[in-house]
Amino acid sequence: MQTKKGQSIEDASMKMIEDEVGPHEFNEKEWPIVRRIIHSTADFDFANKNKLVFHKDAIESGMNALKNGCSIVVDVNGVIGGMNKQNPKDFGNNIVCNISKPEIMELAKKEGKTRSQVSMRAAISDMDGGVVAIGNAPTALQEVIQMVKEGIVKPALIIGIPVGFICAAESKEELSKLEGAPFITNIGRKGGSSSVSATINAIFKLIRAESTF
């Protein structure tokens, strides 16, 4: 929960973002997410409609799943660190991060895969009907896309904004063409855990604005 001073700083930051961006092409539910991502990254490239991609069902599907207590599967603990912890507590969402489990490391070595790939496969039961949030590992995003194509999972929402040079842009381009699940992603190398955390926080804020729970 914000202190009065903290809230005043956030409000001033949001106004600064509004003023600097000016007119934009995002709708009334997309813009609070975009604004929150800019707030967390200070990167105004995200205000480019051609750089941040929303599947037509992404926000509604994510809102419905989160407010009904779905699991949130993340690739790294950094995503959890940036999340408002009160939201999953209030709505009963289980946060799943398998990346640091010893058995994941052993299986990754055995199968010649990254820990991120194996950690996504290990979260199938939580991922189906849940929200998948990937901000760091392109291989995790590629694995989720493959699982969707295999028909073994159907997340309510995939937030895929991994940062990096190797396969980051490519994995997001592939996600932007996925037909098996709603998604939010961006074009290019930029991204990161803070972008993903900001997206989740913004969706929860939309939920709170629309309903009493």
Instruction: Report the catalytic residues.
Output: 39
Q: How far is CA 78 from CA 7, 35, 58, 196, in A?
A: 23, 20, 23, 10
39 close to 12: Cβ distance less than 8 angstroms: no
Q: Which residue has the tokens 């603990």?
A: 77
Give the C-alpha separation, 91 to 99, whole Å. 24
CB neighbour class for 165 (10 Å; exposed up to 12, middle 13-18, buried from 19): exposed
Helix spans in 112-158 (H): 115-121, 124-127, 138-150
148 close to 172: Cβ distance less than 8 angstroms: no
The SS3 call for residue 172 is helix
Q: Which residue has the tokens 């709603």?
A: 182
Q: How far is CA 167 from CA 87, 192, 197, in A?
A: 32, 14, 21
